[in-house]
């Protein structure tokens, strides 16, 4: 009986050594109860609110005028002839270009790198297919952690070295481009 109790105790010790308890607390995985979850580590997601607006106006005007007068006369006996030649030209030209753009969207990006000063290098792409149109949106840049809001978002105007790409393909994009005839006329200066 003592031998059996000894064998059970040895078996219990061997099983206890093989089993390791796992700690439920992970120091990097828990935020304090009084803070919100924000992107701080490589692989964390962050929402960039892209609001870009640009407006430009360019105008030019030029005037030129030139006039040349030449006149002469001939008088000989009963012949009294005179003549005049006038050459002149005017040019007035002008042009104006106005352009206005506005782009609003949201895209979730990932933290790719934590820089030595604590800034985050972010990057992300999004592709959408809607009614035969394909839109690709890409955002890259550098973000200060202090600029990230409590709901884990940042405005695109707060992204340093921002590279925001937007490209669309499909029927609407193709029909917005001028046709070959219009491009030839424009190349020749006729359009």
pLDDT value of position 115:
92
Bridge partners for 80 per DSSP? 75
Q: Do 142 and 116 contact (CB within 8 A), yes or no?
A: no
The model's pLDDT over 164-188, given as tens digits with 9 standing for 90+, comes to 888 877 655 555 566 676 677 677 7
- Nearest CA to 170 out of 124, 128, 125, 107 is that of 128
Q: Which residues of the chain have pLDDT under 50?
A: none
Model pTM? 0.51
Give the Cα separation of 124 and 109 in Å (integer). Answer: 4
pLDDT value of position 173:
52
pLDDT value of position 29:
55
pLDDT value of position 114:
92
- Nearest CA to 153 out of 53, 44, 54 is that of 44
Q: How far apart, in Å, are the Cα atoms of 103 and each of 6, 167, 173, 191? A: 77, 12, 16, 29
């Amino acid at each position: 009986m003592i031998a059996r109790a000894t064998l059970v105790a040895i078996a219990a010790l061997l099983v206890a050594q093989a089993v390791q308890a796992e700690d439920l607390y992970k120091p990097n995985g828990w935020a304090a109860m009084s803070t919100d979850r924000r992107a701080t580590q490589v692989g964390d997601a962050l929402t960039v609110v892209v609001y870009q607006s640009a407006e430009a106006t360019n105008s030019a005007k030029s005037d030129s005028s030139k006039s040349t007068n030449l006149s002469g006369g001939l008088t000989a006996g009963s012949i009294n002839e005179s003549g005049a030649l006038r050459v002149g030209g005017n040019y007035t030209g002008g042009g104006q270009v106005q352009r206005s753009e506005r782009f609003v969207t949201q895209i979730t990006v990932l933290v790719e790198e934590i820089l030595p000063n604590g800034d985050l290098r972010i990057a992300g792409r999004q592709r959408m297919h809607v009614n035969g149109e394909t839109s690709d949106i890409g955002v890259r840049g550098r973000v200060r952690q202090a600029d990230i809001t409590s709901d884990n978002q940042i405005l695109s105007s707060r992204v340093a070295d921002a590279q925001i790409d937007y490209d669309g393909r499909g029927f609407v994009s193709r029909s917005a481009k001028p046709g070959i005839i219009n491009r030839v006329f424009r190349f020749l200066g006729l359009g």
